[in-house]
Structures are given as structure tokens and as C-alpha cells.
Amino acid sequence: MSTLSEVEPQEHTILIVDDTPANVGVLADYLEDQGFRVVVAQDGEEGLKRAEFVRPDLVLLDVMMPGIDGFETCRRLKAAEQTREIPVIFMTALTDTGSVVTGFGVGGVDYVTKPLQVEEVLVRVTTHLSLRNLHKQLTAQNLRLQQEVEDRQRAEEALRKVGEEQQSLIRKLQEAHDQLLQSEKMASIGQLAAGIAHEINNPVGFVSSNMGALQDYIQTLLDLIDRYDDVVAQVPEGQGVLHDLARMKQDADIEFLKSDIVALMAESKEGLKRVKDIVQALKDFSHVGESDWLEADLHHGLDSTLNIANNEIKYKARVVKEYGDLPKVTCLASQLNQVFMNLLVNAAHAIEGEGIITIRTGASDGWVWVSIRDNGAGISPENMNRIFEPFFTTKPIGSGTGLGLSLSYSIVKKHGGRIEVESEPGKGTCFTVHLPVHPETES
């Protein structure tokens, strides 16, 4: 950085504005001898033009000149954007206080009195050039500092944004990871259900077959007993064997057995039918092996899901089905069954005591909808915006993962659909799933 005594003259241009050639000649020669570059003007107007063209480092300005005087010239220099920073030193014989004050008022930085002492002029010129150099350096340094501060602020803001984006990415990755785990768990449950269904199907099959044969055998025995009764009725009375047979028949309570065996067989066959229905529901619910988008009957999926979830629902609510006419929907049926399962189980859990779960369906304009309504506790307004967030749950700790609705939302979105929720605390909740019949993206 330059100090007051470290001005290099050859680097600076000085404009002298004076209408006295003798003064100008002496001063210009002296300053040029000191290594300065000197430009001369004879009046204020010429001085303004040269200042604008040359952009000198300093102006030595006479006060008393024809045309505009030095004060007005200085005033115009300071008014122009290109020349306002150039220091102006007045050269004047007016040393009264008023003139000095006027000179500083219009923007002058100093003054020298006439007749001029060139050594004094040199000292003042050198001093103000040094000051100007310091001012320029300080301004440049301030600009650099300001730029550095702005750059640092931009870098910090960019870093903050990167940090926020990374945190958001981490959250999304965690959500995707957890949803993938939940989806894999549901897929594993589906495979397990299909395996169990297959294993149960075999013994149920031969038990059902045996029950049919057993029913035939029992009917043969019952027919034999009836024929036995007919034969015994033809034996003359009074023989002891009749008394013994009658006593044995009474002890065996044959009449009760005949009626109860029929009822037991009917109940057993009904139980076997229910087992077969559950097994079929397990197979329908899991859709194991179906990884492609296929046309599916949503009513069939709802019914199979209801059979699977029956144990969760039957002690809490009565299910009312109000099915409309639905076309088959192109979908991943096992994933939609997971959505229905989550919504039905949540509806049952929302009911305290005994309630009603109403399932409605309908279709219009290439879309289908399935609504599941309960008359349970409902959802509070402050939780409505969070119910589809991963891990958010209002259930007691250990009673839920908070992933069911989040996974359901992702599945429905994957199908190009949406889930709408209406709820009123104390009156119940209704989830409505809207799905396109033919999604645009099937992947």
C-alpha cells in the first residue's frame, strides 16, 4: 500500500486549469521535471472537456478565470459521474475565509495561494495523490472484502441447501428402505399364506373326501338299523331276546344318534367348506407368482381380504357391502389387497365396542373408487396432514409401525390413483381409493 511519500510521478496525470500562461508554463515545467504527466486548459469549459477525456489523477484549478470561474468548474466536475472522485486543489489569491469556505464547499480538497511556490504545490500535490491512492486501495479492499463476504455467504447458503437436500435425501432413502421392508414383509406374508394354503389344502382335500365316504357308510348303517327294526317287529312277542334287544337299543339311544349323526355330518361339512373358503381367500389375497399388471376384479379382492381379516373385524364391527358395478381394473392385485387390508384393519381398530364398517364401490369416466367408512373414533384435525407419513401412528407403542397408510399411499400412487380422507372426531372416518381402470404407467 502507498504512503504519503510513496507516489510514483510517472504514474499520474495532472490537469492544470489557469488563464495565465506564465503561471501555467512555470508550474507545468516544474511538475514535468518531477516526472508527472501534465495536461493544460486555459478556462473552465476547456478544463471540463479535458478532465472528461483525460481523466486526470488531480486537478490544479485557478479560481479567477473568464467564463465560468473555478468554483463553478469544480462544482460541475463533482456533479459528473466520470470526474467526481478527482481531487481538486484551488490556486487563488483569494485568501479570505469566505473564499476558502466556498472552495471547500464546492468539493475542493485543498488550496495554494498565489503567487505560487512550486515546492509547496509539489508537496500538496504529492500528499493528495497519496491520499487518493490510499482511498482507491481502501475502496478496492472494501470491495474485495464485500465480495468475499458475499461469496462466503453464497457458499454457506449453498452448503446449507446441500445439507438440507442431503437430509431430505436421507429421509427419502430411509422411507423408501422402510417401505421396501414393509412391502417385502407383506410379500413374504403372501408367500407364507400361499404355502399354508397349499399345505392345508391337501389334508382338507382328503378329509373332505373321507367325510363324503363316511356319510355314505353311516347312511348304510342307519338303513341297516331301520331294516333291523322292521325284522324285529315281525318276531312274535314274549321271547326274551326281544326284551334284550329293546334294552340294548334303549341304552344306545339309537333314535338320538340317528338324528344327531345327520346334524354332526352337516356341521362338519360346513366347517370343511369354511376352511376351504379361507384357503382359497389366502391364495386369492397373496396372488403369489403374479408380478405383472393384470386385469382383476376388485370385488373379488375385497371379499378375499375380508375373509383373511375376519378375525380382526368380526368382534368389533358388522360389515355392510354396497357394491356397485365395477369393470376389471389393470393392476397389481396383491398390492391393492394390501391396501384394502390396511384400511379395513385400521377401521376395525378405530371402533370401540361394536360398530359398522361400510364398503362402497363405484365407477365413472374411466375411474373406479372404493370407500371404506367406519363409525369409530375419527382422526383429530392436527393429525390429518400426517397420517400418510412413515412411522406416524396414533396407536399405543408396540401396537403399530406407522407404515400401513404410508405403504398404501405409495401403492395407490404407483397405480396412478389417489386416496382421499374425510374424518370427524367422534363420528368416524372414510378412506376413498380412486384408481384409473387402465393406468398410464404399468411397471
Predicted confidence at residue 443, as pLDDT, reads 45
Domain count, the chain: 2
Q: CA 318 to CA 301: how far, in whole Å?
A: 19
Spatial neighbors of 49 by CB under 8 A, at least 6 apart, are 41
In a domain, 417, yes or no: yes
In a domain, 232, yes or no: no
* Cell 492544470 belongs to residue: 16
In a domain, 234, yes or no: no
Mean pLDDT of 247-275: 71
Last residue within a domain, chosen from 88, 116, 144:
116
Q: Give 151-161 pLDDT, tens digit per residue.
A: 899 888 888 88
The enclosing domain of 71 has a CATH number of 3.40.50.2300
Is residue 398 pLDDT above 90, yes or no?
A: no
Q: CA 208 to CA 203: how far, in whole Å?
A: 8
Spatial neighbors of 284 by CB under 8 A, at least 6 apart, are 300, 301, 304, 337
Rounded to 5 degrees, φ, ψ at 354 are -115, 135
In a domain, 171, yes or no: no
Q: What is the percent of the chain where pLDDT is above 70? A: 76
In a domain, 269, yes or no: no
Predicted confidence at residue 399, as pLDDT, reads 45
Predicted confidence at residue 315, as pLDDT, reads 83
In a domain, 100, yes or no: yes
Is residue 218 pLDDT above 80, yes or no?
A: no
Predicted confidence at residue 386, as pLDDT, reads 73
The enclosing domain of 341 has a CATH number of 3.30.565.10
Last residue within a domain, chosen from 116, 135, 161:
116
Q: Give 220-231 pLDDT, tens digit per residue.
A: 777 777 777 777
CA separation, residue 284 to residues 44, 191, 309, 330, 371 (Å): 102, 11, 13, 16, 21
Query: pTM, whole model, 2 decimals?
Result: 0.43
Last residue within a domain, chosen from 116, 140, 165:
116
User: Residue 372: which domain range?
Assistant: 290-443
In a domain, 363, yes or no: yes
pLDDT band at residue 431 under the 50/70/90 scheme: very high
In a domain, 245, yes or no: no
* Cell 423408501 belongs to residue: 176
